[in-house]
Amino acid sequence: MEIKVQKKLASGQVRFESDFGTCEGIWNDDEPESNRKYTVEIEIPEDLTAARLAESDEKHCILETTEDALVHIVGQLEDYEEDGFAVLRLEDSIICFNTQYDEQIEALHGKFIEFEVERIHLSKVGI
């Protein structure tokens, strides 16, 4: 996913903008430069449960920080494996995450889903 770092925050976090909104995440690489674009991989460091995932009324992708400092994510559940591995599509980008396998999540396959997490991690990809 392509992002533009707006500024560095405390504790290794950055505020960034993408095609899906403005968000904050933990930067896992060398210090990023403000106002610079990066191609990153987004990691969700926690396993999600069916209770935290819901079909979304939104039919477009969202990646934004909420007023409660959580990360709100909306995308299309593209793939879901029996080991609980999930692939969420945000247009040309994907975010992979792990779950405790649940048939309720399997039933969301192909649909827009939404959830909130405490944090995401960002790692540069490419050159």
pLDDT attached to residue 10: 84
Give residue 9's pLDDT: 92
Per-residue pLDDT of the chain (127 residues; tens, 9 = 90+): 999 999 999 889 999 999 999 999 999 988 899 999 999 999 999 999 999 999 999 999 999 999 999 999 999 999 999 999 999 999 999 999 999 999 999 999 999 999 999 999 999 997 5
DSSP-assigned letters across all residues of 64-91: EE-TTSPEEEEEEEEEE-TTSEEEEEET
Going from N- to C-terminal start, the domains of the chain cover 2-124
pLDDT at 11: 81
CA distance 28 to 105: 29
Rg of the chain (C-alpha set) = 14
At which residue do the structure tokens 């995932």 appear?
Answer: 53
The pLDDT value given to residue 41: 96
Determine contact, residues 73/79, Cβ cutoff 8 Å.
no
| Structure confidence at residue 126 (pLDDT) | 75
